[in-house]
Structure 1
Amino acid sequence: MTATLDTLPLTTIDGRPATLGDWAGKVRLLVNVASKCGLTPQYEGLEKLYREKKDAGLEVLGFPANDFMGQEPGSEAEIASFCSVNFDVTFPLFAKIAVTGEAIHPLYRALTSTHPSATGEGPMRKKLEGFGIAPNPAPGVLWNFEKFLLGRDGRILARFAPDVAADDPRLREAVDAALAA
């Protein structure tokens, strides 16, 4: 599975071809992001985590997705500008992909099928139901800002619910353990 994840074709937000293998040997935190979501302020915490841990080998990789109530409607240029201007994001961003549904990107198909449950699952699902939103059924990505942690060897170590922010002790401990391994 690792080789497959590391070789899946991706496109950076500025249109360059890439793969997760470009960050081989690093601990990678993959996050599906959106600019018009109630969780969008998580960009700030993700950037802080990235700056704090990048020299130790952490890469935060942002995957814009417009799968949840059209909360990422912009073009790649608009998304990049929004992230830079509003949150001073310096971690790598990718071209928009689908993280759920019929058009799900192979990366997210592999992530969700290999790691079907998320740490922190429950509160966000209940919150969505309270707003009258039918949550995406497991094992699919629940909402924007769901996180997958990959070890230096490319194996999926953990999955975190969308409302588990970058400063959550569960996520921080998992990142630190992966960096120490």
Structure 2
Amino acid sequence: MKTDWSAALAVAAMLAAGSAAAQTSAAPPAPRTASSAAVETLDYVVQRGDTLIDLATAYMNRPLDYRRVQRENRVANPRRLAIGRTLALPVDLLRADPDEARIAGFRGAATLNQDGRSAAPASGQTVREGAVLSTGANAFVRLALSDGSHVVVPSNSRVRVSRLRRYAINGAVDHALTVEAGRAES
């Protein structure tokens, strides 16, 4: 059974980050439909001097990504935005830097599979996106995320670190873990 913890962790991550220029919603981003597929978005409040073209150049993966934002937000002129307007920015367009987590503690038979190597975790060890934590009987691993939250992988569980990212536009973190077997507690 697989459980995607991305929604719960995204809420905690979004609440922990933000800036004067960018705002995130208190709930998980409301999915919007684009090409019949649900798209996660980050809400951005337009500030004085913002243009879609400048936002794309500074914070998106490609400068021409502003066209999709323009279309999905029904913006008539990408060089003129109303101050205070909220734009829904698809997170798949936003530039993000890798984020890290750390092993805060563990007990018993636990394994960290990362970078093609499988070994017992060590306290303080860095965990990156794509890593898999597995625990045996009477074991656990406590993972500390950069936003101050923790995830515990209890005994007989297997959890994949699906996403560990920090968005350039506002510093918001996006942490997603997938429970492949057993459970996880946040």
Relative to the length of structure 2, the TM-score reads: 0.24
Structure number with the higher strand fraction is 2
Q: Say which structure, 1 or 2, has more relative contact order (CA 8 Å, 6+ apart).
A: 1
Task: Work out which of the two has the higher radius of gyration on C-alpha atoms and give 1 or 2.
Answer: 2
Relative to the length of structure 1, the TM-score reads: 0.25
